Amino acid sequence: MSETQRAAAEPTARKRLFIKTYGCQMNVYDSERMRDLLTPLGYEPADAPDGADLVILNTCHIREKAAEKVYSELGRLKPLKEAKAASGDPMTIAVAGCVAQAEGAEIQRRAPVVDLVVGPQTYHKLPELIASVHRGRGEGLETEFEVEEKFDRLAAPVRQVEGYSAFVTVQEGCDKFCSFCVVPYTRGAEWSRPVDQVVAEVRALAARGVREVTLLGQNVNAYHGEPPAGDAADGTWGLGRLVRHLALIDGIERIRFTTSHPKDMDDDLIAAFADEPKLMPYFHLPVQAGSDRILKAMNRKHTAAEYLDIIARLREARPDIAISGDMIVGFPGETEADFEATMALVREVEYASCFSFKYSRRPGTPGAALPGQVDEAVKSERLARLQALLGEQQEAFNASMVGRTLPVLFEKPGRHAGQLSGRSPYLQAVHCEAPEALIGTIADVEIVSASRNALAGRLKDGESRAA
């Protein structure tokens, strides 16, 4: 992500939350859970709906005419909402509970004063739903917590811009709302840069000698940029089309992108790995967990089988593609069996490289309010097992390169005199004795040895070539 990150959300002025609970103990319990979920977003309980920023009617369907009672309560709320709007401050009205479940969108049709309807199965999505209402009104989402340091940075490039390899932001923000993640709150809604802007930047980089560009975005494969001026009006461009277009720019030999979400995979992007030689055979596609139960609790919006299917299709398009990912262990509720499902998925995928993390409770995210938080010692033990397996896979992947000849983009002098350091198409670091004049060019290197973190090789002929 660009260094000029969006400013951190300042701690907000306190917001007032009024919840009216109808019916049974279950609803009383649910109302408390909703209050807990919303507290980190700056909401404090209010005794009355007057002047409240958020009003939730947690309804009950058990008695006759329950829905009618809700509609008449909404009628009473209408003037309060109008009065608040007149003072320049919106009131958000939500209907939750069994009436919401039973009547669904009908409520909003009959009572437009309602901003959102949320059924009992989806309370964990309340922060996400409220965020979309606020965005719909053009308001930013303010959160009480500091901008994420660690994971926000992890979502940012690991490598710094070097002379011949550059990062280009094409997309920012995220609408996915994985329940462990702060990015949708700190970085805001998903947004794509227009194609013309990206092209201009990549052309300028190519003119400065850049040979490789990595297209960046928190949800880069959700890219849907405004088409170039003069393009027949056929809607926005996806990432596959952008990649093919950038490949036409003279001087650009290699294209990569990161980070993608399984839900945003499309056939065109997969096909680009088969038919666009400048698109490097390396794909960072986080899955986070291998258990469908945990994926659901994470609000990942895909199953393990769907993820594996994408990997299979990518391998069909480009058999040598290196797969990379992100994993979280110890998400709330993760059992030993769930963790074993993660291990099984990793065994099936065979990652070339993969980041792995212990779940860390981020205030303000739905995951933080979930029951079944996993003990630190259990998380550490699972992480160690996972990392041992991932380490073996990375080592095996690197070892499989020995004896092969790979085109290496030399980027800088190596650690030892006379050595250069570069990258293979699979993003492996490659060290090789070579003249400094080859920096900024791509040359064939025969790989002679491999370790977990790097390859060492011999220059084939000293000639530079295209990828």
Binder of residue 278, out of ligand 5AD, ligand SF4, none (CB less than 5 to 8 A by kind): none
Based on the shown chain and the rule CB under 6 A, indicate whether residue 445 belongs to the binding site for ligand SF4. Answer: no
Rounded to 5 degrees, what are φ and ψ at 145? -90, 160
* Residue with Cβ nearer ligand 5AD (244 or 300): 300
For ligand 5AD, which stretch binds (CB under 6 A), given 37-45, 127-135, 150-158, 426-434?
150-158
> What is the β-pairing status of strands 322-329 and 282-284?
parallel
Q: Is 181 annotated as a binding residue?
A: yes
Could you write out the DSSP letters of every residue in 141-210? P--SSPPPSHHHHHTS-SSPPBTTEEEEE-EE------TT--HHHHT-S-EE--HHHHHHHHHHHHHTT-
Rounded to 5 degrees, what are φ and ψ at 270? -65, -45
- Strands laid side by side in the 212-216 sheet: 165-169, 212-216, 254-258
Tokens 């003072």, residue? 87
What DSSP designation does 288 have? B
- Helices 126-136 and 25-38: crossing angle, nearest 10°? 60
Based on the shown chain and the rule CB under 6 A, indicate whether residue 284 belongs to the binding site for ligand SF4. Answer: no
Rounded to 5 degrees, what are φ and ψ at 255? -130, 135
| Cα separations in angstroms, 85 against 159, 190, 406 | 47, 27, 64
Among 362, 379, 382, 423, binds ligand 5AD (CB under 6 A): 362
Q: What angle do CA 152, 153, 155 make, to 5 degrees?
A: 70
Rounded to 5 degrees, what are φ and ψ at 414? -85, -170
Among 18, 22, 167, 357, binds ligand 5AD (CB under 6 A): 357
* Residue with Cβ nearer ligand 5AD (237 or 357): 357
Based on the shown chain and the rule CB under 6 A, indicate whether residue 195 belongs to the binding site for ligand SF4. Answer: no
Based on the shown chain and the rule CB under 6 A, indicate whether residue 174 belongs to the binding site for ligand SF4. Answer: yes
Question: Is residue 229 packed enough to be buried (19+ CB in 10 Å), middle (13-18) or exposed (0-12)?
Answer: exposed
Gap between the Cα atoms of 86 and 300, Å rounded: 39
Q: Is 174 annotated as a binding residue?
A: yes
Among 54, 77, 95, 178, binds ligand SF4 (CB under 6 A): 178
Based on the shown chain and the rule CB under 6 A, indicate whether residue 365 belongs to the binding site for ligand SF4. Answer: no
Binder of residue 328, out of ligand 5AD, ligand SF4, none (CB less than 5 to 8 A by kind): ligand 5AD
Binding pattern to ligand 5AD, positions 264-303, x when CB under 6 A? ----------------------x-x---------------
Among 359, 397, 410, 426, binds ligand 5AD (CB under 6 A): 359
* Residue with Cβ nearer ligand 5AD (60 or 154): 154
Based on the shown chain and the rule CB under 6 A, indicate whether residue 183 belongs to the binding site for ligand SF4. Answer: yes
Residues 122 to 161: which contact ligand SF4 by CB under 6 A? Answer: 155
Q: Is 354 annotated as a binding residue?
A: no
Amino acid code (one letter) for 359: Y
Gap between the Cα atoms of 61 and 72, Å rounded: 15
Q: List % helix, strand, coil for the chain (3-state, nearest 5).
A: 40, 20, 40
Gap between the Cα atoms of 1 and 210, Å rounded: 18
Q: Is 432 annotated as a binding residue?
A: no
Among 218, 221, 291, 324, binds ligand SF4 (CB under 6 A): 218
Q: What's the min distance (Å) between Cβ of 176 and ligand 5AD?
A: 10
Residues in binding contact with ligand SF4, number by CB under 6 A: 11
Binder of residue 81, out of ligand 5AD, ligand SF4, none (CB less than 5 to 8 A by kind): none
Based on the shown chain and the rule CB under 6 A, indicate whether residue 354 belongs to the binding site for ligand 5AD. Answer: no
What DSSP designation does 219 have? T
Binding pattern to ligand 5AD, positions 154-183, x when CB under 6 A? xx------------------------xx--
Residue numbers at the binding site for ligand SF4 (CB under 6 A): 155, 174, 176-178, 181, 183-184, 218-219, 261
Question: What are the binding residues for [4Fe-4S] cluster?
Answer: 24, 60, 98, 174, 178, 181
Residue numbers at the binding site for ligand 5AD (CB under 6 A): 151, 154-155, 180-181, 286, 288, 326, 328, 357, 359-360, 362
